[in-house]
Amino acid sequence: MFTAEQVKEAVAINNIRIVPIRDCSLCGYELSYRFANDKVYFDSGCDCVSYYSPPQERSWQELARYLNNNPDYTDLHAKFGL
Ligand SMILES: [Zn+2]
């Protein structure tokens, strides 16, 4: 299981810019977590399901929880070196 600290460190060390979540089933826009300045943002990019909202800051805990709940993302786990 990843901790928030591990994920944050791995993102910095591996210079990870984006963690794709899934494509919007309507327009194909890639929903993702993105990173900037030691912070996590959730990019919900398109406005198919709800009104458009700019990337919102989220917690490292949330991202760690997301990764822990998606063990089938083996490439991602490898990328994180965890
Ligand atoms: Zn869309």
Spell out the domain ranges in the chain: 4-76
Provide the H-helix boundaries in 1-82: 4-13, 60-68, 74-80
Q: Quote the Cα angle for 18-21-71, to 5°.
A: 100
**Centroid of ligand 1 to alpha carbon of 78 (angstroms):** 28
Q: How many CB atoms lie within 10 A of CB 19?
A: 21
pLDDT at 41: 94
pLDDT at 48: 86
For the chain, residues with pLDDT lower than 50 are none
pLDDT at 47: 83
Under 8 Å between Cβ of 9 and 29:
no
pTM: 0.78
**Centroid of ligand 1 to alpha carbon of 53 (angstroms):** 12
pLDDT at 81: 65
pLDDT at 39: 95
pLDDT at 54: 82
**Centroid of ligand 1 to alpha carbon of 29 (angstroms):** 5
Helix-helix angle 60-68:4-13, to 10 degrees: 90
**Centroid of ligand 1 to alpha carbon of 30 (angstroms):** 8
pLDDT at 22: 86
- Nearest C-alpha neighbor of 28 from the set 9, 13, 48: 48
pLDDT at 74: 66
Residue list, CB under 5 A from ion ligand 1: 24, 26-27, 29, 46, 48
